[in-house]
């Protein structure tokens, strides 16, 4: 009996060392493997029921059906508890992820959570998964979440972990590198266990600083004595990836329920991509048996992934371009490592060698054998001009207003269509509310809006788009600034210790 239950428990291993074995809850607590690799399930589970059966489920039930296959060491009660505390009235619609048909595609709206970006889909549940995992593993320490953000992750993590017992959270953001709304969302955070710090540097500096704090063993020992241990809310944590698989299955089941598609019919997903977390979740959904034809990876002008899918060479040695879709301004897509590992036949040595090349030379090239494994992917990119034009044309055509990140995907899909004439029903991941980027969105609709004040534009957007201003925007309009701390790059560790003393 015992033997049986051990075998039933899905184990996680490292993309760089197959000897590593741990449970789902341990992987969530650790975030990153000691060898620098990412946790992956030893075997990918399959959907436990036909998709037809999911048509009758609400979002929470669908989440339980999918997530229980990955988080096998959580009891039913534990997992259902996490899910029901995450996907509740924090979302402004009971559907959680509504679909909106416009311009020949279905937009899968992932921005109805508290901070109006898709990061809420995973970060509303991660704190519950983490505190449950801590209990299961008899962790007595308080868990300190360290986060570096280029904008959206920071506030979503703050909102998720604010006043969660047994946790504290520190967010570092580049003090001159985030949008006005993004900064206001973070520095007005009221949670008593939160600390937000503006760093005199860019996002890479914040990220490098956080990694240095993580790997400082001496600091780790000092904090352990005081009853603290670090963890991560970054998208490399498997606890963020698994909840993201859910909405692909859920969205498919809605189309099936509404007879837009028939049983077993394939759909395409277009995903605006940065760190490769969201689209990797779609790939896992496909591997679980969801009928998917193509996964279309959409990039902005930082088109390192587009080049990779076209040529098989990943090369980060290029200019970093600041675009109107800042959450996709990234040259090292961390989660791509998981895909590389899988297409190498789950081979940690091959993957580790390529990641070492990325570290030392900033580039690597996959074999032609591995490249053949990528046929389920397509890649397109959109220039700044094409992105703005997509926002404008879709609004004219349908009255529907999308944000800049979603527009990158929309424009990429248009190019895919004109290349392939593919008639497959297609869903576009809509990753942020247009209110979060009202400046860029409104000037894409009409040049006359250029230079106007952000909140004034939010009011205008509400009028022309016929949508209510989300509470996330109203909240920050006149909110008190609580977090004023700023520091130099080499002062980050000191700030963490001060916060914890
Ligand atoms: C984070 C983010 C993305 C990119 O998602 P990845 O999982 O990093 O690929 C796209 N759009 C928005 C609005 C985001 O916040």
For residue 317, the SS3 value is coil
CB of 273 sitting under 6 A from ligand 1: yes
CB of 119 sitting under 6 A from ligand 1: yes
Q: How far is the CA of 113 from the centre of ligand 1 (A)?
A: 15
Domain residue ranges of the chain, discontinuous segments joined by +: 99-115+239-435
Q: How far is the CA of 367 from the centre of ligand 1 (A)?
A: 28
Domain covering 99-115+239-435: architecture:
3-Layer(aba) Sandwich (3.40)
Query: pLDDT class for 331, splitting at 50, 70, 90?
Result: confident
Query: pLDDT class for 176, splitting at 50, 70, 90?
Result: confident
399 within 8 A of 466, measured Cβ to Cβ? yes
3-state SS record for 36-56: CCCEEECCCCCCCCCHHHHCC
CA distance 438 to 206: 26
> How is the beta sheet containing 267-272 ordered, strand by strand?
99-102, 105-109, 426-430, 267-272, 292-299, 377-381
pLDDT digits (tens, 9 = 90+) for 443-493: 999 999 998 999 999 999 999 999 999 999 999 998 999 999 999 999 999
69 within 8 A of 58, measured Cβ to Cβ? no
CA distance 168 to 164: 8
Q: Report residue 300 as tokens.
A: 């902005």
Among 108, 112, 114, 118, say which to mutate for ligand 1: greatest number of ligand atoms within 8 Å of CB: 118
Q: How far is the CA of 46 from the centre of ligand 1 (A)?
A: 26
Mean pLDDT across 263-288 = 97
Mean pLDDT across 316-340 = 91
CB of 155 sitting under 6 A from ligand 1: no
pLDDT digits (tens, 9 = 90+) for 334-367: 899 999 999 999 999 999 999 999 989 999 999 9
CA distance 485 to 501: 16
User: Please, what's the b/e burial string for 218-236 (b: 16 or more CB within 10 A of its CB; e: otherwise)?
Assistant: ebeeebeeeebbbbbbbbb
For residue 269, the SS3 value is strand
Q: Which residue has the tokens 């809006």?
A: 449
252 within 8 A of 51, measured Cβ to Cβ? yes
Q: How far is the CA of 430 from the centre of ligand 1 (A)?
A: 10
Q: How far is the CA of 84 from the centre of ligand 1 (A)?
A: 24
The pLDDT value given to residue 80? 98
Q: Report residue 501 as tokens.
A: 């003393």
Q: Which residue has the tokens 């449970």?
A: 23
Please tell me the pTM assigned to this model: 0.94
Mean pLDDT across 388-392 = 98
Q: Report residue 435 as tokens.
A: 């209110």
Rounded to 10 deg, the angle between the 76-86 and 126-136 helix axes is: 150
The pLDDT value given to residue 56? 96
The pLDDT value given to residue 2? 43
pLDDT digits (tens, 9 = 90+) for 43-89: 999 999 999 999 999 999 999 999 999 999 999 999 999 999 999 99
Share of the chain above pLDDT 70, in %: 99
C-alpha R_g of the chain: 22
CB of 179 sitting under 6 A from ligand 1: no
- Ligand 1, atom 2, residue with closest C-alpha: 327
CA distance 76 to 468: 37
User: Please, what's the b/e burial string for 425-440 (b: 16 or more CB within 10 A of its CB; e: otherwise)?
Assistant: ebbbbbbbbbbbbbbb
Give the torsion sign (CA, 83, 85, 90, 94). positive
Q: How far is the CA of 136 from the centre of ligand 1 (A)?
A: 31
Q: Choose among 223, 296, 255, 323: nearest CA to 101.
A: 255
């Amino acid at each position: 009996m015992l033997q049986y239950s051990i075998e039933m428990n899905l184990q996680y291993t490292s993309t760089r060392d197959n000897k590593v074995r741990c449970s789902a809850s341990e992987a969530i607590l650790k975030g990153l493997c000691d060898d620098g690799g990412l946790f992956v399930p030893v075997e990918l589970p399959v959907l436990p029921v036909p998709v037809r059966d999911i048509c009758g489920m609400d979002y929470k039930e669908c989440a339980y059906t999918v997530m229980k296959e990955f988080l096998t060491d959580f009891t039913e009660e534990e997992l259902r508890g996490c899910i029901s505390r995450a996907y509740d009235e924090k979302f402004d619609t009971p559907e959680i992820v509504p679909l909106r048909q416009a311009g020949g595609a279905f937009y899968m709206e992932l921005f109805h959570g508290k901070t109006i970006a898709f990061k809420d889909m995973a970060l509303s549940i991660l704190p519950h998964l983490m505190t449950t995992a801590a209990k299961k593993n008899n962790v007595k320490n308080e868990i300190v979440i360290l986060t570096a953000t280029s904008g959206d992750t920071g506030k979503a993590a703050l909102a998720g972990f604010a006043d969660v017992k047994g946790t504290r959270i520190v967010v570092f953001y580049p003090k001159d590198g985030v949008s006005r709304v993004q900064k206001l969302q973070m520095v007005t955070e009221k949670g008593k266990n939160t600390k937000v710090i503006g760093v005199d540097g860019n996002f890479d500096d914040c990220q490098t600083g956080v990694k240095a704090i993580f790997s400082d063993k001496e600091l780790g020992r000092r904090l352990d004595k005081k009853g603290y241990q670090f963890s991560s809310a970054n998208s490399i944590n498997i606890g963020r990836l698994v909840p993201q698989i859910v909405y692909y299955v859920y969205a498919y089941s809605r189309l099936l329920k509404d007879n837009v598609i028939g049983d077993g019919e394939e759909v395409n997903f277009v995903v605006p991509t940065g760190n490769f977390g969201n689209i990797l979740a779609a790939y896992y959904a496909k591997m679980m048996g969801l009928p998917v034809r193509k996964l279309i990876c959409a990039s902005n002008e930082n088109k390192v992934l587009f080049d990779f899918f076209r040529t098989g060479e990943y090369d980060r040695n290029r200019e970093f371009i600041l675009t109107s879709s800042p959450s996709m301004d990234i040259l090292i897509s961390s989660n791509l490592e998981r895909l590389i590992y899988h297409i190498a036949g789950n081979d940690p040595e091959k993957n580790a060698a390529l990641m070492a090349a990325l570290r030392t030379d900033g580039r690597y090239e996959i074999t032609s054998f591995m490249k053949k494994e990528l046929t389920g992917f397509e890649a397109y990119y959109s220039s700044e001009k094409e992105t703005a034009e997509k926002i404008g044309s879709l609004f004219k055509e349908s009255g529907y207003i999308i944000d800049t990140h979603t527009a990158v995907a929309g424009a990429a899909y248009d190019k895919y269509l004109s290349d392939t004439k593919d008639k497959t029903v297609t869903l576009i991941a809509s990753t942020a509310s247009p209110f979060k980027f009202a400046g860029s969105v409104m000037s894409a609709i009409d040049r006359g809006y250029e230079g106007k004040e952000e909140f004034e534009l939010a009011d205008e957007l509400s009028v022309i788009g016929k949508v209510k201003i989300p509470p996330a925007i109203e909240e920050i309009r006149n909110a008190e600034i609580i977090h004023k701390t700023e520091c130099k790059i080499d002062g980050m560790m000191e700030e963490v210790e001060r916060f914890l003393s």
